[in-house]
Amino acid sequence: MINDRAQSVPPVRDEAPSVTGSAVGRIFAGLLVLAFAGVTGLFAPLLVMASDSCSEEDARTICSASAQQIVGGLPVGAAFVAALLAVVGMANRSAAGWGCLVAAPFLLVVSWVVALGLAGS
């Protein structure tokens, strides 16, 4: 006997969501940014050593205490913020996630340019 009044139930699917190229690319880009942030945080503050040849009468920018603090601290701060942006970018699937992944290396490059500019002047 067939029950014509029984509700039809959609079939249950055991499929896992596939990993798309977008997710793999986002994670790969995030890992690259994290590596760049690590290198920046470790090595860019060493540009302060450009002030080793400074004398009391030296008028170069790197010979001032404020420039030395900027060259030493800016890359470390930028590396920390860029690492946070990279983690947010890897975790977020929206356009804001990609924005974070684009902003992080830009921030690191700006910190390198400023630090190298101050160390070289």
Q: Are 27 and 90 a contacting pair, CB within 8 Å?
A: yes
| 12 inside domain | no
| 100 inside domain | yes
| 102 inside domain | yes
Residue 35 CA neighbour count, 13 Å, CB half: 6
| 13 inside domain | no
Write out the two tokens for 48.
Answer: 């302060």
| 77 inside domain | yes
Spatial distance between the Cα atoms of 50 and 53, rounded to a whole number of angstroms: 7
Is the sign of the CA dihedral 110, 90, 23, 32 positive or negative?
A: positive
| 5 inside domain | no
Question: In total, how many domains does the chain have?
Answer: 1
| Residue 38 domain boundaries | 24-48+60-120
What is the reported pTM? 0.76
Spatial distance between the Cα atoms of 54 and 114, rounded to a whole number of angstroms: 19
Spatial distance between the Cα atoms of 55 and 12, rounded to a whole number of angstroms: 77
| 16 inside domain | no
Condensed to tens digits (0 to 9), the pLDDT of residues 52-91 reads 888 888 888 888 889 889 999 999 999 999 999 999 999 9
